[in-house]
Amino acid sequence: MGIRVERWKQREVPDARELRRRMEIEGYSVFEWRDSAGTTYGPHAHASDQSHWIIEGALELRVGRELYTLGPGDRDFLPACTEHSAFVPGNTAALYLIGAKDPGH
């Protein structure tokens, strides 16, 4: 199973508190993270399932040869042990929620 991306289709801007609540209901431990424009994370993987939910700015994720650009409201689902890298494009910081799910969840 690879990465899955859900695109934001609602007119209103994402509400961080509501998105956090939804992730916690799904069983994720959630924290908010901000990266400056140009921040790069080299290839890595996590031992647990992860999800990034973008609040402001953009985040590019590369999984294998595929590149996914997530904007406000967009969300990814990364299964445990999925190697990926990340980059914050443009001149704007990215603010997003990171959810991690215990392997037994």
Domain boundaries, given as residue ranges, for the chain: 4-101
CA–CA dist 84, 43 (Å, integer): 5
Residue 105 has pLDDT above 70, yes or no: no
Predicted TM-score (pTM) of the model is 0.93
pLDDT category of residue 1 using cuts at 50, 70 and 90: low
For domain 4-101, the CATH superfamily is Jelly Rolls (2.60.120.10)
pLDDT in the model for residue 2: 83
